[in-house]
């Protein structure tokens, strides 16, 4: 599983655990590090860490392991590197401060997520 399928799986795992402000961006034309970014916010450091664990466990069950996970101890900004997809899970204050989606959005690169298409999305904006 790679690319947009992996993005949608990660976003769904985050959504299932009540992550907020879930955004997925296709950035392969803007950077060389990865093809996609998935951004989400936890309510606090405890939830941020729990979101990271849930994504890790969910993808591990599919045979996918991150190349690296950074920031898990402080749980303010956790980055999970899956090669073609990088997952950023933020504490609310850090999400507001860094505003990664503003840096990497070009107006046409947002990936539609399954829960948005169903009209159920209350957290991803």
All structural domains of the chain: 3-112 (3.30.460.10)
The answer to whether 62 and 1 are in contact (CB under 8 A) is: yes
Predicted confidence at residue 117, as pLDDT, reads: 61
pTM of the shown model? 0.89
The number of CA neighbours under 13 Å toward the Cβ of 65 is 2
The answer to whether 83 and 34 are in contact (CB under 8 A) is: yes
Q: What is the pLDDT of residues 1-60, one digit of tens each?
A: 788 999 999 999 999 999 999 999 999 999 889 999 999 999 999 999 999 999 999 999
């Amino acid at each position: 599983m790679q690319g947009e399928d992996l993005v949608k799986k990660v976003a769904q795992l985050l959504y299932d655990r009540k992550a907020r402000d879930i955004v997925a961006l296709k950035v392969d034309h803007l950077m060389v590090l990865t093809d996609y970014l998935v951004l989400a916010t936890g309510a606090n450091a405890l939830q941020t860490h729990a979101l990271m664990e849930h994504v890790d466990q969910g993808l591990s069950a599919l045979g996918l392991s991150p190349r690296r996970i950074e920031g898990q101890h402080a749980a303010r900004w956790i980055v999970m590197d899956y090669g073609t997809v990088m997952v950023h899970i933020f504490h609310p204050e850090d999400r507001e401060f860094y505003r990664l989606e503003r840096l990497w959005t070009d107006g046409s690169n947002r990936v539609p997520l399954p829960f948005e298409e169903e009209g159920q999305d209350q957290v991803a904006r």
